[in-house]
Structure 1
Amino acid sequence: MSFLKEITEYKKTVIKRLINDNGLCKAIFYNDEDFLDREDVIHTDDLIYNNVYPHRFIPEVTSTAKTYITVSCTDYRPSGNSFKNGMLNIYMFTHRDLFKTDYGYTRMDYVMTKVEELINGERGIGVGELGFGGLNEYIVNEKFQGYVLTYRLVDFN
């Protein structure tokens, strides 16, 4: 396998985990304040390239109220003779009109918590468990805000 080919596989694995969680899919698909009370999202693969992207950016940020998750790998480099490491970044952001929910927490707090539950400490991406690397606010523009979760990746050369 190419030195960098696994990055594509890592992003695919992360996205598959995210779209397999029905609560998370509802939070990014439905714009309603009671999104968890809505019907299950049946065709979760349709969220890819609509709400979930395997790269940091979305094609066009408009003022349309929508929720997004994007995934990127950064700072990927050799570490010693046998390993390489880097950072897996998961950006979660929504239109400011969608923050409020009926559940006592914001849509972004729900999304952030679900993503963290699905990714932190999990195996199948690199060697061992993904290590939590940090949480930061993420501001796209005056209408879209959210969070970025960062995890440390380690893999063999």
Structure 2
Amino acid sequence: MNDKSAITAEMVAAAEMVLALHAYIRLIEAVVQGYQRKILLDMQARPAKDLRQFFLNSVVLDETQAYLLGDADRARFIIECNKPREAAGLLVESPEQCPLQVARNQLIDAESALLAAMEQHRRVGYLFGPGMVSTITHRTQMLALAVQMLTPHIRDAESILRDLVKKGMR
């Protein structure tokens, strides 16, 4: 694996992490969104006072708009999310964190690591450099290409998950 044109263990590990995080996000997305929506429905909270002029007579019911909540409502929303999050067994470093957002941020980091690893490929590395992934569309295309190139080298899902559980998702 000294030949820079070869697929490296770093490339394969990065691709496996990207795939594992995609699977994890799909696994927890409905759970997290479900309890967040129920909490928002029960709260019937309006946007923060300084934002109400832009959202007349509206109630925040969509978890993607929870950022519109005022400080007190946001604090209540976070506290209310802790119990169902813990009941679902979703671990986070701090009670203010959303496990879905943490996983999405980890995915972005893993994708960046995959692109950086692929940039080292002697023959096609230029495709994965900053100039080639300057838009979200190009980034998405290059990530798909990287996974496609590495698919023959990626282990089965059970092996990947077993190793991740041993090490922890980090």
Report the TM-score, using the length of structure 1 for normalisation.
Answer: 0.35
Higher strand share: 1
Larger radius of gyration: 2
Higher helix share: 2
Larger RCO (CA under 8 A, 6+ residues apart): 2
